[in-house]
Amino acid sequence: MSKKHLVTTKTPLRITFTGGGTDLPDYYTKNGPGAVVSAAINSYIYISVSKHFYPDELRISYSLTENAIKNINDIKHPTIREALRLLDIESGIQIVSITEIPSKGTGLGSSSSFLVGLLNALHAWKGELASPKQLAEEAVYIEREVLKEKGGKQDQYMAAYGGINLMEFMKNGEVCVKPIPISTKLRKELESNLIMFYTGNERSSSAIHEKQALGIGKNIDKYDRMREIAYQTADVITKGEWPLLGKLFHENWLLKKQLSSEITNNVIDTYYSKALAAGALGGKLIGAGGSGFMLFNVVPEKRKAVASALNLQEHSFEIETQGSRVIYVE
């Protein structure tokens, strides 16, 4: 093992288009495959890992700083603790994170992006090269198996692979990542037909997923339809049929709202209605639900009208073609 002095990784966040929820094991293990279409965006989490001056200590800095840690069991941040344990790193290391967007409860998969970026940095620090598949599988293992956090698998795979993907979640737990073929021209068109706003609130996705999972049995027909919408979405993106994409967004959102009382609320519904009235063709709340970012399909001529109607903080973005990557090694 050849440890480095300093490693920094750059890992994208993601936006989900359609099919979200069919990546929950309570659905795909019995009724699979699940299918989700998502895209990585150019908003990132940066993780730096470096050698610690004190070889018997750990120092970790995120929204809090944990200093002079002598034992990984004493680390408060659960995913950092378990990532170090998985890679058999006990001490002599410093970890620092920087995020471009609030790192919890915004619906952009930030928790999984953080973990994928951390695993990538730790592997690189040890002199190891980890593939996107390995990074995603390790992140899923930590979040779902070790920490028992409720949720799906799309976030980990999107963070690791990047791009625009149709992801299939098989009954046996395997994940098939299928990049959606799209030219640079069409990708730019897609970006110009999407607009995203921050509602100003955060929430626990695990809590929402836990309640949502309890109702899967009585909503199988809705999940089945959302899976079909995901396959249609992939086809529509390939062809550049943006008005139809808006209709698929809208149908998917109407279905998803029925899955749990936690997914939407009066505030979100009001924003959605205002956006449609101003010219949006369809949209959704990104992520598990409750709050965070809203995404709309809007023809370029209507962008200003929708933004004015909502009066929310707009977040401009482009689609990121790469997943988590090492950007500095010393």
Same structural domain for residues 128 and 253? no
- Residue 8 contacts residue 326 (beta carbons within 8 Å): yes
Has residue 1 been placed in a domain?
A: no
pLDDT for the residue 211: 61
- Residue 19 contacts residue 230 (beta carbons within 8 Å): yes
Nearest to 318 by CA among 180, 196, 158, 236: 196
Integer Cα distance of 96 and 183 in angstroms: 36
Same structural domain for residues 198 and 177? no
**Regions of the chain with pLDDT less than 70:** 1-2, 103-105, 201-215, 288-290
pLDDT for the residue 204: 55
Note the pTM of the prediction, 2 decimals. Answer: 0.94
The edge-to-edge listing of strands for the beta sheet with 194-198 is 282-285, 293-297, 194-198, 313-314
CATH code for the domain of 298: 3.30.70.890
Same structural domain for residues 164 and 189? no
pLDDT for the residue 208: 55
Same structural domain for residues 191 and 325? no
Same structural domain for residues 145 and 277? no
CATH code for the domain of 48: 3.30.230.10
Same structural domain for residues 192 and 124? no
pLDDT for the residue 144: 96
Same structural domain for residues 84 and 143? yes
- Residue 312 contacts residue 36 (beta carbons within 8 Å): no
Query: Dihedral sign, CA of 138, 157, 102, 320?
Result: positive
User: Could you list the residue range(s) of the whole structural domain that residue 276 is in?
Assistant: 184-314
pLDDT for the residue 263: 85
DSSP of 290-324, one letter per residue? SSSEEEEE--GGGHHHHHHHH--EE----B----S
pLDDT for the residue 2: 65
Contacts of 207 (CB under 8 A, 6+ apart): 150, 262
Instruction: Provide the phi-psi class of 123: left if phi over 0, else alpha when psi is between -120 and 50, else beta.
Output: alpha
Number of domains in the chain: 2
Same structural domain for residues 276 and 202? yes
